[in-house]
Amino acid sequence: MNTPASLIINDTQLNDAFSQIKEASRFDPAPSLALRRQRLDALEALLRENSPAICAAISADFGHRSTHETQLLEIFPSLEGIRHVRNHLKSWMKPQRRSVSLWFQPGRAEIRPQPLGCIGIVTPWNYPLYLAIGPLTAAFAAGNRALIKMSEFTPSTATLFAELAARYFKADELAVVGGDHELAQAFTRLPFDHLLFTGSTAVGRQVMKAAAENLTPVTLELGGKSPAIIAPGYPIAKAAARIMAGKCLNAGQTCIAPDYVLLPAGEEENFIAAARAVVASSYPDLERNADYSAVVNLRHANRLRDYLDDASENGARIVPVGDAAPYEGGPLRLAPTLVLNTNAQMRIMQEEIFGPLLPILSYTHIDEALAYVNAHDRPLALYLFDHDKARIDLVLDQTIAGGVTINDTILHIAQDELPFGGVGPSGMGHYHGREGFLTFSKQKPVFYQSRINGIGLFNPPYGKLFERLIKVLLR
Q: What is the largest CA-CA distance in the chain?
A: 92
Edge-to-edge, what's the strand order for the sheet holding 441-448? 96-98, 108-115, 441-448
The neighbour count for residue 447, using CB atoms within 10 Å, is 11
Rounded distance between C-alpha atoms, residue 93 and residue 278, angstroms: 46
The neighbour count for residue 173, using CB atoms within 10 Å, is 22
Angle of helix 181-188 relative to helix 11-27, nearest 10 degrees, comes to 30
Q: DSSP state, 71?
A: I
Rounded distance between C-alpha atoms, residue 124 and residue 151, angstroms: 5
Catalytic residue among 55, 118, 248, 255: 255
Q: Is 454 helix (H, G, I), strand (E, B) or coil?
A: coil
- Write the CA distances from 119 to 34, 124, 332, 407, integer angstroms: 20, 16, 35, 36
Rounded distance between C-alpha atoms, residue 212 and residue 279, angstroms: 46
Confirm whether 221 is a catalytic residue.
yes
Nearest of 416, 439, 403, 421 to residue 88 by alpha carbon: 416
Catalytic residue among 44, 69, 221, 268: 221
Rounded distance between C-alpha atoms, residue 118 and residue 172, angstroms: 10
Residue 444, beta-bridge partner list: 112
Rounded distance between C-alpha atoms, residue 151 and residue 34, angstroms: 32
Nearest of 169, 172, 175, 176 to residue 1 by alpha carbon: 169
**What string of DSSP letters covers 265-300?**
TT-HHHHHHHHHHHHHHHSSSGGG-TTSPPPS-HHH
Which of 344-380 are b and which e, b meaning 16 or more Cβ less than 10 Å from the residue's Cβ? eebebbebbbbbbbbbbbbbeebeebbeebeeebbbb
Write the single-letter amino acid at 193.
D
Rounded distance between C-alpha atoms, residue 158 and residue 161, angstroms: 5
Rounded distance between C-alpha atoms, residue 335 and residue 318, angstroms: 12
Rounded distance between C-alpha atoms, residue 371 and residue 363, angstroms: 10
Confirm whether 110 is a catalytic residue.
no
Proportion of the chain in helix, strand, coil states, percent, rounded to 5? 45, 15, 35
Q: Is 357 helix (H, G, I), strand (E, B) or coil?
A: strand
Catalytic residues: 221, 255
